[in-house]
Amino acid sequence: MPAHAYTYAIPYRYYTEDHVRRYGFHGTSHRYVARRTAQLLQGTIADPRIITCHLGAGSSLCAVAGGVSLDTSMGFTPLSGLVMGTRSGDIDPAVVSFIMEKEQCSLTGVMDILNRQSGVLGISGVSPDFRDLEKEGDRGHERARLALAVFAYSVARGIGSLIPAIGGLDALAFTAGVGENSPNMRRRICAFLSWLGIVLDENQNIDGDGERAISAGESKIKVLVVPTDEEKMIAEESWAVLQKR
């Protein structure tokens, strides 16, 4: 990532002395999915600008152009960015001191709340498992429905914020547990992005299987489901290192 994307607006010495900056996570998954998406689009888009959406208990986005990651939603730790299963994602930093004062707890206690008691679990009070939330939402559980809506909006807002990093958007690729297996969540996210000209093919979104395009023919942006293969990526990269010895 370029410096303007990874630098925090805190005293610069924390970067020079302690390497505090945005790093991002799920890199192996994002690399595989971005590469595979470019291969699937070969012949239609020469150099696609892609946002990969690794959505599961832990979730992150990555903006890729020319095969290079130019920005990502996670930061110094995996706590930042999107709303997740039990993690809060981005919040006002002042919330930390507010919780400490209210609960009379230590910083360690607040970090436990933000890492393990927040996210869709914290909103719903039901579960960090999106399948449970879908079931409860269908039964009329309002906080489960709210948790799903907050997550979908968080992802859509994250996608919108990453578009400037790559100068536009040609393709959106969904992967990981929720990204690959929840047609309802993909629909919710894409509904927030309809202004970009995204139109889903509901037959492919709901009934399709495995690696596939789920956007309709008239969609201005290609939307795909690309099952991740981190093991393959790790094996290829390990082999590449061994070949250099």
In whole angstroms, how far apart are CA 57 and each of 14, 87, 100, 141? 30, 9, 26, 20
**CA nearest neighbour of 160 among 40, 32, 27, 53:** 53
Give the DSSP per-residue string, 85-136.
Answer: SS---S--THHHHHHHHHHT--HHHHHHHHHHS-HHHHHHSS-S-HHHHHHH
DSSP symbol at 243:
H
Please give the model's pTM, rounded to 2 decimal places: 0.95
Q: Does CATH number 3.30.420.40 belong to domain 3-9+23-90+120-243? A: yes
pLDDT score of 162: 98
Question: What would the pLDDT profile of 45-78 be if each residue is shown by its tens digit?
Answer: 889 999 999 999 999 999 999 999 999 999 999 9
Residue 144 in tokens: 């489960």
pLDDT in tens, 6-31: 999 999 999 999 999 999 999 999 99
